[in-house]
Amino acid sequence: MAYMALYRKWRPGGFDELVGQEHVSRTLSNAINTGRVGHAYLFAGPRGTGKTSTAKILAKALNCEHGPTPNPCNQCEACQKINSGTSMDVFEIDAASNRGIDEIRDLRETVKFAPAAGRYKVYIIDEVHMLTMEAFNALLKTLEEPPSHVVFILATTEAHKVPATIQSRCQRYDFKRITVADIQGRLQLVADSMGLAYEEEALRLIAVKAEGGMRDALGLLDQCAALSREKLTVEQTQNFLGLIGRAWIEGLVEAVGRHDASQVLHKVAELLQAGKELPQMLSELAMYLRSLLVFKAAGSSGEIDYGSDTREMLAKQAAAFTSQQLMDYIRRVHGALAELKWSPQPRITVESALLELVQGGSTPQPSVGDRGMTVDCGGTGAGLAAPGAERLARLEARIAQLTALVQSGGAASAAAVAPMPAGSKAESQGASEERAVFAAPAVQSADGSAMQAKLLQELHGDAEPAVACVKKCAVLGLSEGQLILGCPTDMIKGLVERIYRKKIEEALQRITGRPVRLLCRVAEVVQTASEPEPDLPDIPPPTDEDSGAVNISELPPQVQSRLQQAADVFGGDFIEPSEED
């Protein structure tokens, strides 16, 4: 006979053999004893926790020759046929491959017939959530009012995908994950019956790796038994399961506690050389840090699962860290695990995370959504930085700047305060005040007039169009890093900002010897410090003899200057008017 896998060979034969699901076995046993067997059941829970096994036990309990009984004999013809899968009264349907409406219609036709040999016809629909909505609708009426000889057992790992109309017609039983202790006890029973020598820690590693599923645990034991020759050891089990091992993790945590960065990097290199997986290492490290945190919080309590029996090592290493540090370490390790999914260089991600642990977690890790607040997660004793520290520093600098402007340039210069940073509440308040200040006539101070004269002199020759614009403006304020220029119109302000800003700022840098930022404001400029322009003589109208031609050199100097400025701003190409004009 072909070899039978352990998870099949050791499938529970009765409710008393179910491991970790006492609440289910007790309830079903009582229902059978009292004759309150339902017509439809929904078994929901993680994989490998006994849903299908319980369904078969219930089918045997209902059809056993000595029943209905909560303890089927597993010896009669009905029980043996159900165990071997040849019973004509028990139908196992895989909903993943029979999920359409046609299969459910066929089921509805067969439901009408009486059982072939037993008392009940039992329909076990595995992974029922895979049925289509049409199939569920077709099953609905039959599930609600089946014949008295029919029992439906629906099994699923994703109960939330089963429609509420189906669930409301079933008795629901939730299967839970099996504890590590229960799985380990079952593995010891199986290994003893096989005559397999083992180390208890090796079986515990298998139980942990199974993650609450007995079927997975038996499958892993089957493979490890094939690997082992004489005795199943911890080292063999770790190598087979790809585990890092508690000794390596303890050495890493010890190096972190000593702040030994060199040793940490050496251990990572050693791990990679051995062909281990970095995500597995981070997972085991997080679990060990959790053991340290729980031990530090609860002490040596026999009721708490620490994930390890080495309480002495836990006590020694837990003393090297604070609870806050351990919580920060766990968060950083989990963050590194998430980063590994997208990181092009996993080794760099892991090494940088471990080096942060070596530094005591002093690198701040602000949480998503924090704005203006920095949390120091380290053990250095630093707390929370003030939320508005940076903005407060800007305000203090601005107050100092305003004080200097008032002392040097008067009230007009005091209005030339740098704008508030974008996004602050003071920006909207300052904006309205700023508009009120510059809407009034702005009188240029003597200092501003002197600076404007120097600026015009510096611009003359290289940027004549800029000179024409600056002459119309007034210097309203000057600080160490900026100059505020009042412009009489939006057009001149736009020309200065878009075209001449660079030339003016270069000229200001040559004058002051440092970079100066130019700010423009629209204001009604009153240039009291500048000299009034003389009245210009009228230009004589053209005569027929010269056909409108004017000799510019014969014009007064003031008129020549005005024409030159106009040519610089609007261009020097003159267009003859057409006859139509």
Per-residue pLDDT, 391: 64
Instruction: List the beta strands (DSSP E) in 442-543.
Output: 442-443, 474-478, 482-487, 517-522, 525-526
Residue 402 lies in a domain: no
- Angle 261-273/346-358 helices, nearest 10 degrees? 150
Q: How far is CA 269 from CA 31, 165, 262, 368, 395, in A?
A: 59, 56, 11, 32, 51
Q: What is the pLDDT of residue 411?
A: 41
- The whole-angstrom separation of Cα 263 and Cα 278 is 17
268 and 185 assigned to the same domain? no
The answer to whether 12 and 56 have CB atoms below 8 angstroms apart is no
Alpha carbon separation from 258 to 251, 313, 317, 321, 355 (Å, rounded): 11, 15, 11, 10, 12
> 226 with 276, same domain?
no
Model-level pTM?
0.58
* Residue 367 CB-density burial (10 A; 0-12 exposed, 13-18 middle, 19+ buried): exposed
Q: Give the residue among 149, 141, 140, 135 at the shortest CA–CA distance from 105.
A: 135
Residue 550: its pLDDT value, please?
55
Residue 567 confidence (pLDDT): 67
Strands 525-526 and 442-443: parallel
Query: Rounded to 5, what percent of the chain is helix, strand, coil?
Result: 55, 10, 40
- Read off the CATH number of the domain in which 515 is found: 3.30.300.180
Question: Taking a C-beta distance cutoff of 8 angstroms, is the pair 485, 519 a contact?
Answer: yes
How far is it, in rounded angstroms, from Cα 222 to Cα 53? 19
Q: Which of 358, 376, 392 is the last residue of a domain?
A: 358
Task: Name the strands in the sheet holding 150-156, side by side, starting at the edge strand that comes first in the sequence.
Answer: 90-94, 121-126, 150-156, 40-44, 171-174
Q: Are residues 18 and 138 in the same domain?
A: yes
Assigned domain for 234 exists: yes
Question: Residue 478 forms beta bridges with which residues?
Answer: 483
Residues with pLDDT less than 50, the chain: 362-387, 409-440, 528-537, 544-548, 581
Both tokens of residue 328?
């920060």
pLDDT score recorded for residue 382: 38
Residue 446: phi, psi to the nearest 5?
-65, -40
Same domain (yes/no): 294, 213 = no
Residue 198 lies in domain? 180-241
Under a CB-based contact definition with an 8 Å cutoff, are residues 272 and 248 in contact? no
Q: Which of 425, 470, 445, 427 is nearest to 417 (CA)?
A: 427
Q: Looking at 320-422, list the stretches that DSSP marks H as alpha helix, in order from N- to C-terminal side.
A: 323-340, 346-358, 389-414
Position 392, amino acid:
L
CATH number at residue 224: 1.10.8.60
Task: Report the CATH number at residue 97.
Answer: 3.40.50.300
Q: Give the amino acid at 381.
A: G
194: enclosing H helix or E strand:
helix 180-194
The region that residue 151 occupies, defined by phi over 0 for left and psi between -120 and 50 for alpha, beta otherwise, is beta
Biggest CA–CA distance in the chain, Å, is 138
530 and 470 in contact (C-beta within 8 Å)?
Answer: no
Q: Are residues 163 and 38 in the same domain?
A: yes
User: Could you say which of 241, 257, 287 is where a domain stops?
Assistant: 241
> Is 15 a domain residue?
yes
Q: Is the dihedral of CA 31, 33, 34, 38 positive or negative?
A: positive
Angstrom distance (rounded) from CA 187 to CA 70: 25
Q: Which of 329, 393, 390 lies closest to 363 in space, CA to CA?
A: 329
Contact 415, 438 (CB under 8 A): yes
Residue 386 domain flag: no
Tokens 């031990």, located at residue: 295
Structure tokens at 438: 């510059």
In a domain, 122, yes or no: yes
Given 118, 149, 174, the domain boundary residue is 174
487, part of any domain: yes
253 in the same domain as 219: no
pLDDT at 553: 65
Task: Note whether 107 and 140 are within 8 A (CB).
Answer: no
The pLDDT of residue 336: 92
Q: In this structure, are 27 and 85 located in the same domain? A: yes
> Are 225 and 250 contained in the same domain?
no
395, two tokens: 């305000």
The string of DSSP codes covering 233-278 is: -HHHHHHHHT---HHHHHHHHHHHHTT-HHHHHHHHHHHHHTT--H
Q: Are 393 and 380 in contact (CB under 8 A)?
A: no
| pLDDT of amino acid 66 | 85
Residues 138 and 269 in one domain: no
Q: Are 365 and 375 in contact (CB under 8 A)?
A: yes
Q: Please tell me the distance from the alpha carbon of residue 107 to that of residue 136, in angstroms, as a whole number.
A: 12
Note whether 132 and 60 are same-domain residues: yes
Name the residue type at position 124.
I
Q: What is the pLDDT of residue 56?
A: 93
User: How many structural domains does the chain have?
Assistant: 4
Predicted confidence at residue 363, as pLDDT, reads: 42
Quick one: pLDDT at residue 412? 41
If asked whether residues 251 and 235 sit together in one domain, one would say no
For 410, other C-beta atoms within 10 Å of its C-beta total 16
Interhelix angle 464-471/501-512, nearest 10 degrees: 80
Do 81 and 26 share a domain, yes or no?
Answer: yes
Q: Supply 170's token pair.
A: 């079933």
Question: Is 324 contained in some domain?
Answer: yes
Give burial (CB, 10 Å; 0-12/13-18/19+) of 432: exposed
